[in-house]
Amino acid sequence: MAHITGDVQKSTETDLPRLALQTRPLSRAEQLAESIREAIREREMSAGDFFGTLESIRENTGLARTTVSEAVTLLRDRGVLVVKPGRGGGLFVAATTPLVRLRHTLMSFEGDPVTAADAIELRESLEELIAVKAAAHRRAADVSELEEILVEMRTAETWDGFMQANWHLHAKIAAICPNAMARSVYESTLGFLSGGHAEQDDEVDETYWGMRVAVHEELVAAIAAGDADATRAAVAAHASSRG
């Protein structure tokens, strides 16, 4: 595989610092994936540009080979990098993927953006049923887990991290729902959506972020109380502020 040369290696060393990777509340692979994405953006790299190799990234960051491989897999699955094996291969910037807007969130997915829009529409149609059923069947252990995931949302360092915690929360709510068919369909939409990468638009600030957390806190509180009416109201508030 080709090696990082000159300015590429220097830029990678600058953008993927060891200390920075150890201080953010994400997994090491997620931290590295985010740093690589930032490096690509800051250097204004284009589709097809050579970024480096697994080995050069490992040497520059000091991270384990398995961590680097996991980060590259995340970026490949999110349509950020293309992995080319063999002589002259390595990691190359992928073509820009289509964006789907969720109010103030821009989601990028591999493949047809219509599929993403369909998944969003289907998920929204099942939201109230899933949440109300969860409220009726929640247990103390379920509530504790939902509250733990809320902590993930409150402490997320990036918008993508916040959205991943968001998908995690809704997946847990779905897991409580006893309607197996509705749960299966709903979880399939979450599986698709969580594979995308989220970016905020220019209107997202701390106030908006805090409002999004509060909406989910209200939803969890309603489910924890077993209050069907409050859960429906929370779902409606969630839908009106989504993204």
Residues 117 and 236 in one domain: yes
Instruction: Check whether residue 146 and residue 85 sit in a common domain.
Output: no
Question: Which CATH number is 206's domain given?
Answer: 1.20.120.530
Distances (CA, A) of 174 to 45, 148, 197, 239: 39, 16, 22, 16
- Residues 54 and 163 occupy one common structural domain: no
Same domain, 92 and 109: no
CB contact at 8 A, 56 and 36: no
What's the pLDDT score for residue 27?
A: 82
Domain boundary among 79, 96, 113: 96
Q: Which of 74, 96, 118 is the last residue of a domain?
A: 96
Are residues 158 and 206 located together in one domain of the fold? Answer: yes
Size (the chain), residues: 243
Same domain, 46 and 164: no
Q: Are residues 172 and 189 in the same domain?
A: yes
Same domain, 216 and 114: yes
**Token pair listed for 173:** 């709510």
Distance CA 103, CA 242 (A): 6
In terms of domains, do 120 and 39 share one? no
Residue 160 to residue 158: CA distance in whole angstroms: 5
Domain end, chosen from 73, 96, 119, is at: 96
Q: Are 67 and 114 part of one and the same domain?
A: no
Q: What is the pLDDT of residues 110-148, one digit of tens each?
A: 655 557 778 888 998 999 999 999 999 999 999 999 999
Residue 112 sits in the same domain as residue 214: yes
What is the extent of the structural domain holding 195? 104-241
Same-domain status, 108 and 212: yes
Residues of the chain with pLDDT under 50: 1-15, 17-25, 243
Instruction: Please write the tens of the pLDDT for every residue from 17-26.
Output: 443 333 334 6
- What's residue 121's pLDDT? 82
Split into its structural domains, the chain has a count of 2
